[in-house]
Chain A
Amino acid sequence: MAIAKAERLMNLALCLLGTRRPLSKRELRGSIEAYLEAGNDDSFNRMFERDKDDLRELGLVIETVDNIDGEVGYHARRDSNRLPPLTLDAEEAAALGLAAKVWQQARLAGAASGALHKLRAAGLPDDADPFAGNSALEPHIPVHESAFEPLMLACRDRRPVVFDYRKANAVQPAPRQVEPWALECWRGHWYLAGFDRDRGAERVFRLSRITGKVRTRSGGFTADVPDVVTVRETVAGWAGESAEGTAVIRLRSGAGYPLRAKARSVTPLGEGWDELEIPYGHGLDASLVEYGPDVVVQEPAELRADVIDRLRAVAKD
């Protein structure tokens, strides 16, 4: 089956690229064996439309022209399909080889190696070792979220989507209607920024909290897409990294290296304790409670109360 389809797509691509004038559907059908065997007109038409879409996904620019006979003609002009000249030195070729290995997501990994093949076919030397003389680095972009691929396509094609989303503390997922703008991966997790139609405002979604399928909706975007979409700043805010306040804590000597690493000051108090001034933002109570009896919050009072509250919940469990 796969062979039949690849063979059919190759033939369609070569016909469209080889022709000097637009070809009608009838002419294409007469030129490609698989179409002759396609059975009735309906199944041929469906097959032809799908194949045309597949070739466009592969980058082929297929023009549609109204023929003189009133029939539509199809044509992949050489000048609009030809790769512009691209010359890379050895370092650049190695950098490109490295970039082509970064994606672990099937569709983009396939696209990256497909791009590399096109460039090699066009003359890029294929003996460049991507690691020779480079930083000894293996970068990987992780994609574990099943919502990634449909959202990537919806962002690319600017198509509205609907999906069920479970907010951080929600008991049940709720449907959201979103005009997707951009996807961003930060610390190994993917986020979507877009216009939430029900809320009438920009929202950032974490892909792992999307449950069920992402479905595209017909029609276009209703809200303007901003020139710059900032996902990371929003997420960093959730993670408490936009901390503006200061908290004072006592920390047992030798414990809590991450707190020391971000401390604004560390003062030894003697008897095995230090006093630290640390940035205070959203979520600090949850991270301080992890240190159990090695941290005692001094101020502010609300943080101290939050931590005591959390400790009580564990103590009486």
Chain B
Amino acid sequence: MAAQANAIDRTRRMLSLVTYLRERPGAHVADVARAFGVSEAELISDLDVLPLCGTSFRGGDLLDIDTDGDRIWWHNPDDVAAPLRLAADEATALLVAARAVSTLPGLREGDRQALLRVTAKLEAAAGEAAASSSRLSVTFEAEGGVFADVDRAISERRRLWLRYYSPARDELTEREVDPIRLFTVGHTYMEAWCRLSEDRRTFRLDRVAEIRVLDEVSAPPEIEVRDLSAGLVQPSADDPEVVIEVGPGGRWVAEYYPHDSAEELPDGGLRITLRTPDPASLRRLALRLGRDGRITAPAGLADSARAAARDALAAYEAQP
């Protein structure tokens, strides 16, 4: 399956490569590799295949493309290499992404206009291939005002003051942070160096209650940018383990909480095992689950949820 996808992507790349090389005689291997987002070794292996390709292997009209490892030459360029139109998936991938980003609240107007212009031009160039792009859509959520302030702070290298809501503790805390980047994965987040905790923190923009761009210069330490493809929450192996047993009505927990395992139970429920640095923060979840599930470990967590529920019921009884 991987080899299959690889062959398709590779064919796609080689088709564009011949067009590219026709327009740029003597192109440098390093430049071409960069333009195509591949390593030089991958490019060289494409260049090894191209001379075996042509409009007919018997007619002697194979592509005469060669390289000395530094520059690439095509000795018999042909108009078979005219730029090719976009495929439906190609048009969809770009159009859906451009439309999604262009609707982000708080985006700079110049960027929004550029995205809208490029969307219109792509739609026109793709023609019929653009039609199915309307069958996919993505909405990014962001708090426009907060987004604009974070964006400005990053580009002007300024520190930010925040009042930030922590759902785990149900409290607002004030902190100063040096912003590192803004990213969007459904919701929009800021990654920043938090001067209160002296650590890297991720802030969800819709939980920022108040924000101010400060005059101080932002000076986050040089830290490696986190790879987000593994997920936003990346618990460490030493974090305590939490076990949650849910009935069918609590299966949503597995969709919202990153977990190590989710084992099917005979009643249609799940036994979910996850790790978190702060199990007490899951008391909210225990309360929310009600009869749809319970936290079986650590034992203290279920106890604290039970105590909170009893306290709450006492307030209702006091005030019928």
Contacts and interface: CB of A to CB of B under 8 A. Distances in A.
Q: Which of B59, B86, B98, B312 has the most CB of A within 10 A?
A: B312
Contacts of B288: 286-287, 289-290
Contacts of B10: 2, 6
Interface in B1-32: 3-17, 19-20, 23, 31
Interface in B111-164: 111, 114-115, 117-118, 121-122, 124-125, 127, 129, 132, 134-141, 150-151, 154-155
A240 B101 CA distance: 26
Interface residues of B, number: 130
A216 to B, nearest CB: 15
B60 to A, nearest CB: 12
Interface string B273-303: 0000000000111111111001000000010
Interface string B76-115: 0011101111111111111011101100100110110011
Contacts of B45: 3
A187 B187 contact: yes
Contacts of A166: 248, 251
A223 interface: no
B310 interface: yes
Interface stretch (A41-49, A64-72, A120-128, A195-203): A120-128
A103 B14 CA distance: 22
A121 B97 contact: no
A141 B286 CA distance: 30
Given A115-B90, A315-B306, A184 B114 contact: no
Contacts of A185: 137-139, 186
A292 B35 contact: no
Given A100-B97, A141-B100, A257-B209, A314 B36 contact: no
Leading 7 A-B pairs by shortest Cβ distance: A188-B186, A59-B87, A171-B268, A18-B55, A122-B83, A292-B308, A115-B90
Interface of A: 1-3, 5-7, 9-11, 13-15, 17-19, 30-33, 54-55, 57-61, 78, 80-88, 91-92, 94-96, 98-100, 102-104, 106-118, 120-123, 126, 133-142, 152, 155-156, 166, 168-172, 181-189, 208, 231-232, 254-258, 261, 286-287, 289-296, 304, 308-315, 317
